[in-house]
Chains A and B, each alone.
Chain A
Amino acid sequence: MKFNKLALGTTSLVAMSLLAACGSSDDSASDGSGEGSSDTLSVWVMGDGNEVTQPIFDSFTEETGIEVNAQSIPWSAVHDRLLTAVASGEGPDVVQMGSTYMAEFVDAGALMDITEYVESEEELSTDNFFEGNVETTVFDENYYAVPWYTETRALYYRTDLLEEVGYPEGPSNWDELYDAATKLSDRGDDYYGFTIPLNEQTFGPMFAKQNGSEIIDDEGKAVMNEPEFVEAIDYLNSFVESGASPSQDLGIEISQSFGGEGINPMFISGPWMISAIQDQTTDIEGKWAVRTLPEGPVSNVSNTGGANLAVWNNSDNPDEAIQLIEHMTSTDSMLTYYENSSSLPARMATWDEEPFQDENVAVFGEQLENSEHMPVIAEWDRVSQAYITSFEQIIVGGADVQETLDNLNQEVQTIID
């Protein structure tokens, strides 16, 4: 009979909470989520906004008297949440949009055209922001967002190990990179020189750009099999063939590959790795550094990423939403945001501030001057996935480079047509 009591208890608990649920559904309907009411703005930020962005919203409310209802969306569910918002048309007033998401959401009509604001408000003028980021906000000469934070890739290397092979400042061009990597891999069987990431969608295209190739040309033609592109992939493949790079994901953490003996003493990544290395390794303090990417035959252009701030297309408060975006992209807010999240400001003037004088961080500032975004097209995800598959076939499967890229180019052309 004990079980019956348990069941009874559960049932009554259920009934009570059901009542509670109905009650709370009523009052939530009345205060809404910011839609329709002009004194509350709703904002979606990705990741833990309670900590990171709440201070920025608080100061906005203090200045303007406009309440901000911020909702944090976990990174793992961003896509699902945005999809449902598009489906129902019910989004927030202001939304954080990853730069690679821009094209498809603009295409779907989810974001408001804010050209008039960008052109009239001095603070929002595109001159204030890194070009690589501005590129991701403009479609058909109209503006749909304001750059917020940025990121780019640079070369991380172990100073102690690179010194041993004659490059104390790290390799400065492609030849030196290859030379250093092969020498470092000569240390022994399980040692390598440079990481070739297999699932990094911008890696090969970035090297192709450094070799003077495009990915998709101005006329919308895919050129991922032109000689400059093929050469760049050949160059990357040579690292694997000579044993300077592992042909597989080693499945180990940065502390294991970069720390200690430095199984993999050089890799290319974004600014977030600075704190990751600091947090995860204790044994290589002062033995590593970051530098701008080694110069390729044409340039050392890097890849820009980051996120923008946009206004949802059916926001009832576009003026206030823009006001909030202006506040969020001001130097003060960007400094707060950097301190709380380590995300680099997309506003160039902010880089004069003190935190960005740090040696390692400044490298990224320098690299940003020479950094572009991957093509901003709605189909980019599919293109990059096709690229990853082909790249894996070459690196892991040993497929012929030219032939594989010919096939890839054909596939990409079908995708973008």
Chain B
Amino acid sequence: MKSKKAPYFFIAPAIGLLLTFSIFPIILALIISFTDMSLAGLADYSRINFTGLQNYQNILQDSVFLKSITNTLFYVIFGVPLVILFSLTIAILINMGKSRYFSFMRVVFYSPSITNIVAVAIVWAFLFNPSQSIGLINRVIGTIGIEPIGWLTDTGVSKISLVILAVWRSIGINMLIFSAALQNIPASMYEAAELDGATKWEQIRFITVPQLKFSTSFVTITTIIGWLQFFEEPFVMTEGGPLNSTTSVALFIYRNGFQNNQFGYAAAGSLLLFVVIICATLVQLRLQRRAD
């Protein structure tokens, strides 16, 4: 028999910690978002003024904030499917071979996740350099007669460049999750399919992918959340430029709120982002439930 108390015991420590260190601060942030709290207010609470919805009104009229929203949507719409597709493909391909070579490939594809961000920034700045004599990518495409592209300096291209970079960085961890999940598919299923004359492609299509339902839903949700909080890539590569073409919502919040100590304003931006992410996640969960 399952004990009635057991689940509470199992979740209590984790929930307790999350309530204390995440939920409680979020509630606090909600309160702060209705105030004009700045550094002075942080030091002396009597200097905090309640400003109602002012922060929300201001931020929704801030043209840079609105731009950062469309930028972030761009990142999510193009980035998330690519990450899922590539990490799943690589996980399946690696799983097909059993030799040391294939195991080694897992380390190789995971390596971007453990490469120091400074090294990432230097190498990619070099790859993306606009000059044909320095930038490696431009040098390569130059040999087939394509004009140099301002990967990070052209407002039309900069977002694409950051998506390329971020996809490269986030394949590793998701590939790993898919790899783990792949071990749970009983070999007997493939054997049976093989006997029925299914091709490799059909085995992937009708056995592997459906069996990865739970991990796919996990990867989808966490990737969407991660990309809605897109921050590090524009932060180190472009600082949001040129002309805010790469500024994400998270970068906007950081720049306007935390660098300038406008905590109320930053909290308002964070909570708007928070609501958007919750909605996106709920929609995603609902869609998956319907698909089941």
Contacts and interface: CB of A to CB of B under 8 A. Distances in A.
A389 B64 CA distance: 10
Nearest to B122: A253
A89 B43 contact: yes
**B39, B255, B260, most chain A CB atoms within 10 A:** B39
B81 interface: no
A86 interface: yes
Interface string A374-417: 00001101100100010011001100000000000000000000
A108 B39 contact: yes
B238 to A, nearest CB: 9
A372 to B, nearest CB: 23
Nearest to A101: B39
Given A104-B261, A382-B262, 13 more contacts: A104-B38, A107-B39, A108-B40, A110-B43, A199-B239, A251-B130, A381-B259, A382-B260, A385-B259, A389-B244, A392-B241, A396-B243, A397-B243
Contacts, number: 72
B131 A87 contact: no
Given A83-B42, A104-B261, A108-B42, A251 B243 contact: no
B39 A248 contact: no
B243 A392 contact: yes
Interface string B122-160: 000100111101100000000000000010110000000
A109 B134 contact: no
Interface of B: 38-40, 42-44, 64, 125, 128-131, 133-134, 150, 152-153, 239, 241-244, 255, 258-262
**B43, B153, B241, most chain A CB atoms within 10 A:** B43
Nearest to A382: B260
Contacts of A109: 40, 43-44
Contact of B260 (A107, A248, A250, A381): A381
Interface string A81-97: 00100110100000000
A252 B129 contact: yes
B278 to A, nearest CB: 27
B156 to A, nearest CB: 13
Contacts of B38: 104, 108
B68 to A, nearest CB: 13
Nearest to A263: B131
Nearest to B239: A199
B262 to A, nearest CB: 8
Interface residues of A, number: 30
Contacts of A199: 239, 241
Nearest to A84: B42
Contacts of A392: 241-243
Contacts of A110: 39, 43
Contacts of B134: 252, 256
A248 B44 CA distance: 43
Nearest to A393: B243
A144 to B, nearest CB: 14
A164 interface: no
6 shortest interchain CB distances as A-B pairs: A248-B153, A108-B43, A108-B39, A108-B40, A251-B125, A382-B260
Contacts of A252: 129, 131, 134
A369 interface: no
Interface string A190-210: 100000001100000000000
A109 B38 CA distance: 12
Contacts of B43: 86-87, 89, 108-110
B131 A190 contact: yes
Contacts of B152: 251
Nearest to B41: A108
A122 interface: no
A79 interface: yes
A83 B44 CA distance: 13
Contacts of A248: 130, 150, 153, 242
A283 interface: no
A135 to B, nearest CB: 21
